[in-house]
Amino acid sequence: MKILRLKKESSNFKSKGFFIVFTGSILTVLTYLLSVTLLSKDIKNTQNLQKVQKNNKIHIVSLIDGDNDLMYVDSVIKSLLYYQKRFHCRNNRCCLADLCKRRVVGNLQCSPKKASEANGPITFHFLADKRTRLKFQRRERSWNLINVKFQFYEYQHYLNKLHWITSKHSTDIRSCLKLLLPEILPRYVRQVIVLDIFLLLNADINELWNHFKYFKSTQILGLTVEQNPNFEIVMRGLIKNWRGHGYNTGVMLMDLAKLRSVPWNHIWMSAAKYVMKTLGYLTGGEQVSCYFG
């Protein structure tokens, strides 16, 4: 996992002459000092992550828009809860949601309250249009999930702040809504996992959340290296002299509290305007690629 960090010098954030191209959701040039630390180099920390802390208060944010997205997000939610063992039940009283198929085994007793406390609360924050929100809420009422909440934010209210951006991403400028999360989400949400809905989890989400514990005081974003072998070919068709694989923002850790403590909007808007002036548009894809000079 890649960690981006801001370095403070005399309470000002100074440019170091590099830029970060946010392709799709974030394609920017950072004119303030950002340095990079590879979390994967810390072998001890990686080993410690295997000891998963279960009682985290986890916040997850995704963009959902339309019926197709509703189908995808169902799979994300089910895979997430499944690997937290919330669906592993021996009888009706052990089952923590109506999403799972209940079965009775003998006279075993299980307290739902005690079982639900094994995992901390999860809050899903969905950026959605009104129609999608209403459809999701009708379905969600039948699930009866324990320790899981859903909050909605109508993204149309924030698109006017992005109208000046031209994007070749399949979701147009909506992919850039991630840049506005520090102001969209409530201030009590200090850290968040950003998830694309076109994925499935194959491990406990707590393992990912626990990476926040290893963020240093100046680290703000956690990203993964792009693993699609065709990515470099695609990007060479969009950006001249493109090199490297870049980073994928389909799974991203954001420390919102730290972003709110710096002039984040000024940073990313200045950088995005530079890219717009240079290329005329933001390139497609959900990757982040870094150039350092």
Per-residue pLDDT reduced to its tens digit, 93-130: 555 555 554 444 444 445 545 545 567 899 999 999 99
pLDDT band for position 57 (cuts 50, 70, 90): very high
Residue 14 pLDDT greater than 80, yes or no: no
Q: What are phi and psi of 290, to 5 degrees?
A: -115, 135
- Is the model's pLDDT at 50 over the cut of 60? no
Domain CATH for 272: 3.90.550
**Cα(268)–Cα(30) distance, integer angstroms:** 7
Whether 129 is covered by a domain: the verdict is yes
> Total structural domains in the chain?
1
Is the pLDDT reported for residue 140 higher than 60? yes
Q: What is the pLDDT of residues 163-203, one digit of tens each?
A: 888 776 666 788 889 999 999 999 999 999 999 999 999 99
> Domain range holding 126?
18-84+119-291
Instruction: Give CA–CA dist 248/285, Å, rounded.
Output: 9
11 in a structural domain: no
| Alpha carbons 247 and 223: distance in angstroms, whole number | 6
What's the mean per-residue pLDDT of the chain? 74
For the entire predicted model, the pTM comes to 0.73
In a domain, 251, yes or no: yes
The torsion angle over the Cα atoms of residues 215, 57, 247 and 276, rounded to 10 degrees, is -100
> Would you place residue 283 in the very low, low, confident or very high pLDDT band (cuts 50, 70, 90)?
low
User: Is residue 29 in some structural domain?
Assistant: yes
